Amino acid sequence: MEKRLRPPLVSVTRMLTQMTHSQVYVLDQDEALDFYVGKLGLEVNTDADLGFMRWLTVNVPGDPGRQLLLEKPGPPAHDEATAEQVRELVTKGAMGMAGIFTVDDIHKTYEELLAKGVEFTEEPTERDYGTDCGLRDPFGNHIRIGQLK
């Protein structure tokens, strides 16, 4: 696989220093906790009732600087009609990739997650960059787990 490099833009000063949060829509935050923490082994970073929403983030153990927000569609980001459309797209698996995680032993991880009832969409497959597999969370979001070469 060839990596394409883009020449650096010299006219733009560096403003952004780190990506700290990404987000995935979930239909039930307690069920999301059971999956992302109970099955995948992530840890809860923040679980706060903000009044207008529940701010629920998880992270890979030992990496609290990169959090995944498990966000329920609805206020304050969406009105009810839009939230319903988002829920439909999540259920169809049409919201894109929820995340890509790496592991030390993909085959062991695959077997452990399979035993926990995780739904896989693709078994571990050897690729140019390593071995990876695909799975879905309980809501339809796509996740990849891989072991890099």
- Concatenating the DSSP letter of every residue in 19-47 gives --EEEEE-S-HHHHHIIIIIIT--EEEEE
The ranges assigned to domains in the chain are 21-148
What pLDDT is stored for residue 135 in this prediction? 97
The CATH architecture annotation of domain 21-148 reads Roll (3.10)
* Beta strand pairing call for 54-59 and 130-136: unpaired
Average pLDDT estimate for 38-47: 98
d(CA 10, CA 17): 16
In the prediction, which pLDDT does 5 show? 74
> What is the reported pLDDT for 50?
96
Q: Is 74 left (phi over 0), alpha (psi -120 to 50) or beta?
A: left
Model confidence band, residue 2 (pLDDT cutoffs 50, 70, 90): low
9 pLDDT tier (thresholds 50, 70, 90): low
Q: Flag whether pLDDT at 7 surpasses 70.
A: no
How many other β-carbons are positioned within 10 Å of the β-carbon of residue 95? 16
pLDDT, tens digit, 9 for 90 and up, residues 109-139:
999 999 999 999 999 999 999 999 999 999 9
Task: Tell me the pLDDT band of 11, cut-offs 50, 70 and 90.
Answer: low
Report the residue count for the chain. Answer: 149
Helix or strand or coil: residue 147?
strand
| Three-class DSSP category at 76 | coil
Label residues 99-123 b or e (16+ Cβ within 10 Å = b). bebebeebeebbeebeeeebeeeee
Task: Please report which helix (H) or strand (E) contains residue 113, including its range.
Answer: helix 106-115
| pLDDT one-digit tens code per residue, 45-99 | 999 999 999 999 999 999 999 999 999 999 999 999 999 999 999 999 999 899 9
Tokens 């035993």, residue located:
115
